[in-house]
Amino acid sequence: MMPDIAFLSTWALPLVFIGPLIAAAITFIIGSGPVSRFIGLLVPIGVFAVSVLLVFATIDGQVVVSQIAGWPGGVSIAFVGDLLSALMLGASAVLVFVCMVFAYSAGMGIDRWFVPAVSIMTAGVYGAYVTADLFNLFVMVEVALLPSYILMSRRGTLTTLRAARLYLIVNLTASTLFLGGLGVVYGVAGTVNMAALAGLGVLPAVGIATGVILIALMLKAALVPTHSWLPATYPYTSPAITALFSGLLTKIGAYALLRVISLVYEPGRLVVVIVIVVSIASMIVGVLGALGEGTIRGVLTFQMVSGMGYIIVGVVLAGAVGLAAVVFYLVHHMIVMTSLFLTGGTVEHEEGTGIIRRLGGLARAHPVAAFAFLLGALSLIGLPPFSGFWAKVGLLTAAVDAGEFVVLAVALVVSLGTLVSMLKLGSGVFWGAPMGGRDESDDETPSDVTVGPETVGATGVAIDVAAATEAPPVTKWRPLLVIPGLALALVSLGIGLYPEWLLSLTDTAGRSLDDPVVYITAVLGGGSG
């Protein structure tokens, strides 16, 4: 099967950005309803189809370019699909679909802003994966962020609003910094086209100017030392939104860091040391933070910080081997984190709280959800036969190849920390003594993580507070809340059992990132558009 390149470059690539925007306009006009919700599910399916075509078109390292309006390369706005973009598009589309199913079953589909906002946000995410221009990357990130501000604050409780305020301020700071960096890059290099900037990082002026952009991206990816906003915001919105954001928004930052660092910089000693120090710090701080948290999503957001360290460190390890490990880890981490957030979100929706010490023994009544959590946790820790195992094998191989034994040691020790924190989470929520969800004292605690009565209107979750306070509330959890998390955990297991196809894809992606000559000539040299 060899898809038509002309079709892909003329229609399919721009469509992954324009399609969701059109869907947002339609769903906004017709308002919430079954049709609107159906369109919300249709868009990720369409994007997934495009990503599959794109994978087949780029499987041998080719690059599909769409020079918008047929302007010559270097002048035009270019959309580029290489194997990395295709993989990111595919993984994101799967996550969006699964999160939409979860959000609908949690009752968020009745909010007329929900489907349009998610559609616009995903348009920005998909657009960020296919753009070949730093300024367009900035615009795409903003397109993704603006609806995310709305989604973040939609629950409307005071705690959520405060979290949304912090989230907005942090992202506005990052965007301002990004824009400033763009100005400086344009000033010293005369272009912001990523292909034209390739290799220019060896010039000190361009290297430093691009560094400003990297700091902004670091903030968005929540790497240490710019991570602290993440655990202060993500756990305080609706569980479905946290799951969606965890798979999409911070991962744009990771993707952009990967793309920019591998294209612009040569892996000189200074670059290697900076990346390794930041990554190791993220791994350690993330896992220590996770150990200290007392809520499900608190633990998981710190695990995101830790995972981000694992993702980024490979960028500077052993060239193509390390870059391939990064791509694999990125895909794995997106799937597993979202799975865990969804399973954790199910607990919060059905038990009314995410505070670990108020939960316990849920595995007896809800074995399927416990199984989904177990799969996700084992994959996150990196045990065989899950995708996390191959992700860590790839990373550790790259660390050994590069002779960076500090990375090897820290990555292994931090995995133990991950094990401990997931054990704590598992034994506190699913195993151990049953505590019986919500109790009277909930009213005195801040509504940090409890899905309180105020939210019933916003999310449509029908929690009967009065009934829940009475003893043993063994209700059956809604299957459609449990299945999304389980499905993603099974995807991770599937990748772990049959890793060859994804490994061969990430291998090719890693080699094209290491030697981006095809990418550069495709973007600058006219292309096929």
Partner 1 sequence: MTMAIAVAVLASVGTWLIVRGGAVRLILGFILLGHAVNLVIIAAGGTFRRVAPLVDGGVDLETTADPLPQAFVLTAIVITFGVTVYLLSLLARTAKSSARDQSSRDGGGDPS
Residue 54 carries which side chain, given as an amino acid letter? Answer: L
For CA atoms 406, 408, 413, 417, the dihedral sign is: positive
For the residues of 455-477, what is the DSSP string, one character each?
HHHHH-----HHHHHSS---PPP
Minimum CB distance to partner 1, residue 146 (Å):
6
Q: 87 and 48 in contact (C-beta within 8 Å)?
A: no
**Which residues bind to partner 1, rule: CB under 8 A?**
135, 139, 142, 146, 149-150, 153, 157-159, 161-166, 168-169, 172, 175-176, 179-180, 182-184, 186-187, 232-233, 236, 445-448
Output DSSP code: residue 67.
E
Q: How far is the CB of 80 from partner 1 (least distance, A)?
A: 19
CB of 191 vs partner 1, minimal distance in Å: 9
**Amino acid residing at 48:** F
Task: Extract the tokens encoding 230.
Answer: 């993440």
Smallest distance, partner 1 to C-beta of residue 479, A = 32
* Pair 477, 366: CB distance under 8 Å: yes
Q: Is 157 or 262 the residue whose CB approaches partner 1 more closely?
A: 157
Enter the tokens of residue 464. 């009967």
Which is nearer to partner 1, 232 or 456 (by Cβ)?
A: 232
CA distance 80 to 84: 10
Residue 95: CB minimum distance to partner 1, A = 25
| Residue at token pair 């911070």 | 250
- List helix spans (H) across 314-404: 319-351, 362-365, 367-381, 387-402
Burial class (CB in 10 A: 0-12, 13-18, 19+), 444: exposed
Of 176 and 504, which has the nearer Cβ to partner 1? 176
* Residue whose CB is less far from partner 1, 112 or 165: 165
| Residue 390 and residue 507 in contact, taking contact as beta carbons nearer than 8 Å | no
* Closer of 445 and 504 to partner 1 (Cβ): 445
Give the shortest CB-142-to-partner 1 separation in angstroms: 5
* 87 in Cβ contact with 110 (< 8 Å): no
CB 236 within 8 A of CB 159: yes
Tokens of 52: 């599959």
182 or 395: whose CB is closer to partner 1?
Answer: 182
From the centroid of its chain, how far is CA 484?
16
Judged by beta carbon, residue 173 or residue 475, the one nearer partner 1 is: 173
Query: Torsion angle of alpha carbons 92, 94, 97, 102, nearest 10°?
Result: -100
64-67 and 78-81 beta bridge pairing: antiparallel
Identify which of residues 267 and 286 has a Cβ nearer to partner 1 in the complex. 286
User: Encoding tokens for residue 362?
Assistant: 């849920």
Q: How far is the CB of 255 from partner 1 (least distance, A)?
A: 20
Residue closer to partner 1 (CB basis): 444 or 470: 444
Closest contact distance (angstroms) between CB of 527 and partner 1 is 20
Q: How far is the CB of 361 from partner 1 (least distance, A)?
A: 27
| Closest separation in Å from C-beta 437 to partner 1 | 19
Contact 153, 455 (CB under 8 A): no
Which one, 185 or 402, has the nearer CB to partner 1?
A: 185
Q: Is the peptide bond before 225 cis (omega within 30 degrees of 0)?
A: yes
